[in-house]
Amino acid sequence: MAEHPAYPVGLRLSGRRVVVLGGGSVAQRRLPALIAAGADVHLVSPSATPSVEAMADGGEITWHRRPYAAGDLTDAWYALIATSDDAANTAASAEGEAHRVWCVRSDDAAAATAWTPATGHSDGVTVAVLGDSPDPRRTAAIRDTVVEGLRDGTLVAPHHRPQAASVALVGGGPGDPDLITVRGRRLLAQADVVIADRLGPRDLLNELPPHVEVIDAAKIPYGRFMAQEAINNALIEHAKAGKAVVRLKGGDPFVFGRGMEEAQALAEAGISCTVVPGISSSISVPGAAGIPVTHRGVAHEFTVVSGHVAPDDERSLVDWAALARLRGTLVVLMGVDKIGKIAEALIAHGRAPETPLALVQEGTTATQRRVDATLATVAETVVAEDVRPPAVIVIGEVVGVGVPHTPQA
């Protein structure tokens, strides 16, 4: 066998009988893929791990609670032999050979007629790696390298794009480029045009290939349109031109990000839209600063509000009186220049002046800093410490239970 490499092939097992001998950890690892392939899986084993038992209880597999017996591989297309009984494994392997059933053996790969490749999935592609000899550590390492490259965009393979215009609204996370989702990073690597917010992960833009057109959303010429209308038009125009367009936004597209406005504009133009959620700064930035937005015995809820208009502004949609009565954590976004009036409103409606408060400026980035205050002192503290946007404001007792933390380089 060492003189000839294994022949790679993809098995289409949907609706076909597959026999798994042994209900231990090997079966626990392999069964999900067989189930996902639609195989008619029959497990033969007197016992099973709790996870395997749950698959049987859920009707995903058929469990025959007994040891292997001659004839178990009859009519099977594929078999996984993974019992702790050497004699049973040998006998089952011989039965598979006699009935021309491809058999994988977890105890003796050299005696098997099939090997299981190290597999991974990315964007509708299955990556399977086989070595010329069974070396699971090396094949797994190669698999991981390829899949990670496909997922994070460092390994880009040409692909046929659909002819229909489409746009991806990608949440870039709170600022640290490592905190964008795997899917978001992959779509960035495939983009022809990226329309980026000021608060998106800017470092990722430097990694894009030279042919990618990067448009600063804050600098799109307004013409006769308002800013958001200009952004909507840019998305539509580039998508209709056949470009792969990514709208890179800070945080999550639907958390004070006007993502729905853009999705609606695209829908009205007949353009499909993919939404890639992002890590919201409302929870990630406090966490990066060592502040939990909830904590057992301290806060059972947290509320996220926009502070871009003051409580006394007629445009405000926030019920500050109701918020003041809550006992949990209050997270304010876009509220640095209005925090004085916000604090006054909360105190006026019953929140204690000594309530602790933290302002986390440029959270998750190398320039992150945390400034602590109280509702009573925050207005003067912001001025004295020169706190500037972007900053997340956390109000509540959780500020006092956190552990100071700075982001890793």
Task: Give the model confidence (pLDDT) of 297-333 as tens digits.
Answer: 999 999 999 999 999 999 999 999 999 999 999 999 9
**pLDDT confidence band for 145 (50 / 70 / 90):** confident
Angle 115-117-122 from CA coordinates, rounded to 5°: 160
Let me know whether 217 and 110 are in one domain: no
Per the document, the length of the chain is: 409
Find the DSSP H helices in 304-360. 320-325, 339-348
Domain boundary among 258, 276, 294: 276
User: Residue 248: which CATH number?
Assistant: 3.40.1010.10
**pLDDT confidence band for 408 (50 / 70 / 90):** very low
For residue 161, pLDDT beyond 60: no
Burial string for 93-128 (b: 16+ CB within 10 Å, else e) reads bebbeeeebbbbbbbebeebbbbbbbebebeeeebe
In a domain, 136, yes or no: no
Give 65 or 147, the one with higher predicted confidence. Answer: 65
Structure tokens at 33: 């893929």
Domain boundary among 99, 116, 133: 116
| Averaged pLDDT score across all residues of the chain | 90
Supply the residues annotated as catalytic. Answer: 197, 219
Q: Looking at residues 212-238, what average pLDDT do you find?
A: 81
Q: Looking at residues 104-109, what average pLDDT do you find?
A: 91
Both ends of the chain: CA-CA distance in Å?
A: 48
CA–CA distances in Å: residue 317 to residues 145, 314, 322, 406: 48, 8, 12, 34
Q: What is the pLDDT of residue 153?
A: 66
User: Residue 337: which CATH number?
Assistant: 3.30.950.10
**The tokens 């070595």 sit on which residue?**
131
For residue 403, pLDDT beyond 80: no
Let me know whether 298 and 350 are in one domain: yes
Let me know whether 90 and 173 are in one domain: no
Percent of the chain with pLDDT over 70: 91
Write out the residue range of the structural domain in which residue 100 sits: 17-116
Which stretch of 107-116, 167-176, 230-239, 243-252 has the lowest confidence by average pLDDT? Answer: 107-116
Let me know whether 241 and 298 are in one domain: no
Q: Looking at residues 12-19, what average pLDDT do you find?
A: 96
**The tokens 């904590």 sit on which residue?**
295
Q: Looking at residues 169-189, what average pLDDT do you find?
A: 92
In a domain, 161, yes or no: no
Q: What is the pLDDT of residue 409?
A: 41
Q: What is the pLDDT of residue 201?
A: 83
For residue 1, pLDDT beyond 50: no
Domain boundary among 276, 294, 310: 276
Let me know whether 219 and 267 are in one domain: yes
Q: What is the pLDDT of residue 294?
A: 96
Let me know whether 204 and 295 are in one domain: no
Q: What is the pLDDT of residue 210?
A: 84
**pLDDT confidence band for 131 (50 / 70 / 90):** confident
Let me know whether 269 and 291 are in one domain: no
Angle 389-392-394 from CA coordinates, rounded to 5°: 145
Q: What is the pLDDT of residue 260?
A: 96
Q: What is the pLDDT of residue 344?
A: 97
Q: What is the pLDDT of residue 407?
A: 45
Q: What is the pLDDT of residue 8?
A: 85
Each residue's pLDDT tens digit, 267-307: 999 999 999 999 999 999 999 999 999 999 999 999 999 99
Please enumerate in sequence order all residues whose Cβ is within 8 A of that of 93, keeping only pairs 6 or more positions apart, or say none: 81, 103, 105, 111, 112, 113
**pLDDT confidence band for 406 (50 / 70 / 90):** very low
In a domain, 319, yes or no: yes
Angle 77-80-82 from CA coordinates, rounded to 5°: 160
In a domain, 310, yes or no: yes
Q: What is the pLDDT of residue 220?
A: 65
Q: What is the pLDDT of residue 353?
A: 97
The domain total for the chain is 3
DSSP string, 232-286: HHHHHHHHHTT--EEEEESB-TTSSS-HHHHHHHHHHTT-EEEEE----HHHHHH
In a domain, 213, yes or no: yes
CA–CA distances in Å: residue 193 to residues 188, 213, 227, 365: 9, 5, 18, 25
Each residue's pLDDT tens digit, 43-55: 999 999 999 999 9
Q: Looking at residues 14-22, what average pLDDT do you find?
A: 97
Check: CB of residue 170 under 8 Å from CB of residue 201: no
